[in-house]
Structure 1
Amino acid sequence: MPSADELIGRHAVESLLSAVEIAAPDADLGSLRAAPRRIAPLSLRERADLLRDALLADLPGDYATLARTVRTARDNAADFTGWLIWPVTSAIATRAVQEDTTAAFDDAMALLAELTGRLTSEFAIRTLLRHDLERALDVISDWTGSADAHVRRLASEGTRPYLPWAVRVPGIQARPGATVPILDALHRDESDYVRRSVANHLNDLSRDHPDLVVGTARRWLDDSDAAAGRLVRHGLRTLVKRGHPTALDLLGFAPARVEVDGPRLDHTTIPLGGSVHFSASIRNTGDTEARLTIDYIVHHRKANGGQTGKTFKLTTRTLAPGERIQVTREHSFRPITTRRYYPGTHAISLQINGIESARADFVLAGTGTP
């Protein structure tokens, strides 16, 4: 994943400053000019917020004045694109909410749609959704029929319950199904770019409302094509990892009679930074063909000595009666920023069509990582 410096670093700030100087030559851009000295220790979202606030400080006035400046920059600055769009769209949304008029709100929605193809307006639109959910959803519903795939994707991506890097929208999380009409309108979109967003949105919903998601997926599959099938499989991926029986059944993974030998570990003590290698044998002991989704679970040791499992995809296979397969995988314990590893007993298990196998224990040696 690119670093914050690669996305919103000095170059992005310089490009933003240049664009604003073109659009507002008389403005005192002291806050923007100071931004490069302040940005280094900040996370990506903090950098976007810093530049948003700098824009709002350097371009005072009403919403309409800011919107004119942004449109002038869009039309005249060659580098007005990429990750600098995030703080620009956030400034637009913030100023519109501060003004709190229908005209400002509606124009801000329109301007975000105009800019979304230059990066994405998915982060900024959350401010408007939080301010007036019903009005925003009415506009977004119209976007599902846009000729621009970027705008159609914004309709789905910007309303995701758990959009990465974005603030939450309590109104969406409190109203199960509020965004389903948007997904209904887009799940057969001609653009794979849009359909991937719909699948990720559906997967977000599954975290809190699995039955709603399974019911929605079932409706889509009733008149499905190959693309809808792929979308549903991707949208149900978290429920499959959780072993949700109805989701598994919907995807054709019925309960199966299988014999599992393993997982077997090459080593039972793994150094921090090393890898655990495991294998297993799986045989269909039933008298009919078995379609299997095979995952593995790493049971990580917690600080209190307990364990917590994380599920990883392994393979999908169809076995004839009596057929046996071998599966293998190497799982790394290389230090990463998103997980702290604690020394002590960990475990590996398989999960086949939602049913977990016996665990194989191993010891992770060494010290934890921050």
Structure 2
Amino acid sequence: MPLDTSAPLLKDLINEAALRDVAGTFKDLTPSFDSRGFLKAATNGLDALSILQRVHRVAESLALALPGAYAEQLAVVVDAGPRLSGAFLNMALGDFVASYGLADPARSLKALRRLTPYGTAEFAVRPFLRQDLHGTLRTLRTWTEDRNEHVRRLASEGCRPRLPWSFRLEALVADPTPLAPLLHALRQDSSLYVRRSVANSLNDITKDHPDWVFDHVAGWDLDHAHCAWIVKHALRSQIKKGDPRALRLIGASEGAEVSIDKLSISPSQVTLGGEVEIAFELRSQSGSDQRLVVDYVVHYVKKNGAPSPKVFKLKTVALPAGEVQPIRIRRALRNFTTRVHYAGDHRVEVMVNGQRMASGVFTLTV
């Protein structure tokens, strides 16, 4: 029988063995913790729950098993942070705070600041933002000056208007202005972890208010490497669209005086688990040097047979006048938690500065 090398399901990271470890940790911290009651509640119907449902189930079970009122329970939860192993188990501690601490925001936000280094509290802080946007943002603004990169990252990640896996912060989707001081404070952060979060937050905003983002970054010092990195990644959606303002900010040429020659996609038929190679020549049609952003689009086949285009970054090319640049990329075709592949013809397009220049097809069999 062949060895099963498939990755475990994400939800299985919170399993019965992990829950027993949680019970043991809390029993060590407070002997009156009801370990039996916790395990009974936490494991009830566990198989049917998704990973985020399991995170919340742990939080609910802790509330049942911990003695005392919220403030006493919270002290034990915070002490458990560095003792638990696994980011999702630690996220359950943040979920406990978000579920039971909204009536005590000052104490609860202090707890999230202490917990986030062990398992991000980006989801847990959002109910506080929804309850009191401006008051919570004032607290997050002080976190931008924290020595711990996890706390600074929480300041920007937690208030992303469209954070994946969480509800939208509709007030910030409608008007991102309250985020300006916080994002500005982190524009030169020394941590890539933080800068990536700032860029993602700005990219969220471009989906609704691209002009606001261009105005916000207009005064940034793009000679500073950290600022320049954030702007390039924040404007990735606009760069893919060929927005001339975004291209100017990253030093790319407006338009694209090029042709795509000798495009090949091989093999023309590939089985799930394999990969395709996309190769072509980028040929200058200009009498001057160009700086070009080259991307490619894969039109994945959905379950219903309809195409679903996904744009991938390829590279930025400095192309001298009249020169030819060969480009080659391999793309794996494997199922992930974020993408399931379906059989059919997949169209591939090459984009230069947001312009679709050439296309080809490969057939995927499952």
Structure 1 residues 36-185: aligned runs within 5 Å: 36=43, 38-59=45-66, 62-71=69-78, 73=80, 79-80=83-84, 82-83=86-87, 84-97=89-102, 100=103, 104-185=104-185
Corresponding residue pairs, total: 357
Structure 1: which amino acid aligns with 2:236? Answer: R
SS in 2 for 1:164: coil
1:216 matches 2:216: yes
SS in 2 for 1:154: helix
1:188 matches 2:194: no
Structure 2: which amino acid aligns with 1:92? Answer: V
Given candidates 14, 20, 23, the residue that maps to 2:20 is 14
The 8 Å contact of residues 32 and 67 in structure 2, kept in 1 or not, is answered as: no
The 8 Å contact of residues 295 and 315 in structure 1, kept in 2 or not, is answered as: yes
Shift in alpha-carbon separation, 1:335–1:82, aligned structure 2, 3 A: closer
Correspondence for 1:204: 204
Structure 2: which amino acid aligns with 1:264? Answer: S
Aligned-partner Cα distance in 1 for 2:331–2:28: 52
SS in 1 for 2:150: helix
The 8 Å contact of residues 293 and 316 in structure 1, kept in 2 or not, is answered as: yes
1:152-185 deviation digits (Å, cap 9, x = unpaired): 2211121122333334333332322332221101
Correspondence for 1:298: 298
In the TM superposition, residue 135 of structure 1 has moved relative to its aligned partner by 1.6
SS in 1 for 2:288: coil
Percent identity among equivalent residues? Answer: 35
SS in 1 for 2:219: helix
The 8 Å contact of residues 245 and 354 in structure 1, kept in 2 or not, is answered as: no
Correspondence for 2:4: none
The 8 Å contact of residues 12 and 51 in structure 2, kept in 1 or not, is answered as: no
1:119-171 deviation digits (Å, cap 9, x = unpaired): 22222111212222222112111222223332222111211223333343333
In the TM superposition, residue 275 of structure 1 has moved relative to its aligned partner by 3.0
In the TM superposition, residue 274 of structure 1 has moved relative to its aligned partner by 3.5
Shift in alpha-carbon separation, 1:260–1:57, aligned structure 2, 3 A: same
Structure 1: which amino acid aligns with 2:136? Answer: A
Aligned-partner Cα distance in 1 for 2:142–2:265: 54
The 8 Å contact of residues 279 and 327 in structure 1, kept in 2 or not, is answered as: yes
Aligned-partner Cα distance in 1 for 2:131–2:338: 32
Aligned-partner Cα distance in 2 for 1:273–1:214: 41
The 8 Å contact of residues 63 and 92 in structure 1, kept in 2 or not, is answered as: no
After TM superposition, the structure 1 stretch with the greater mean CA deviation from structure 2, 343-352 or 45-54, is 343-352
1:15-39 deviation digits (Å, cap 9, x = unpaired): 3212321333223344422224643
The 8 Å contact of residues 266 and 362 in structure 2, kept in 1 or not, is answered as: no
In the TM superposition, residue 81 of structure 1 has moved relative to its aligned partner by 5.7
In the TM superposition, residue 202 of structure 1 has moved relative to its aligned partner by 1.9
In the TM superposition, residue 6 of structure 1 has moved relative to its aligned partner by 6.9
Shift in alpha-carbon separation, 1:180–1:322, aligned structure 2, 3 A: same
Structure 1 residues 231-246: aligned runs within 5 Å: 231-246=230-245
The 8 Å contact of residues 248 and 354 in structure 1, kept in 2 or not, is answered as: no
Shift in alpha-carbon separation, 1:362–1:114, aligned structure 2, 3 A: closer
TM-score, normalization: structure 1?
Answer: 0.86
Correspondence for 1:310: 310
1:237-294 deviation digits (Å, cap 9, x = unpaired): 2322233332122112222311211422334333444433232111111111110111
Shift in alpha-carbon separation, 1:65–1:304, aligned structure 2, 3 A: closer
SS in 2 for 1:309: strand
Shift in alpha-carbon separation, 1:37–1:93, aligned structure 2, 3 A: closer
Gaps of 5+ in 2: 1-6
Correspondence for 1:28: 34
TM-score, normalization: structure 2?
Answer: 0.87
Correspondence for 2:270: 270
Shift in alpha-carbon separation, 1:61–1:171, aligned structure 2, 3 A: farther
Structure 1 residues 328-339: aligned runs within 5 Å: 328-339=328-339
Aligned-partner Cα distance in 2 for 1:271–1:148: 46
Aligned CA-pair RMSD: 2.6
Aligned-partner Cα distance in 2 for 1:317–1:85: 43
Structure 2: which amino acid aligns with 1:239? Answer: Q
SS in 2 for 1:26: coil
Aligned-partner Cα distance in 2 for 1:274–1:117: 38
Aligned-partner Cα distance in 2 for 1:201–1:341: 29
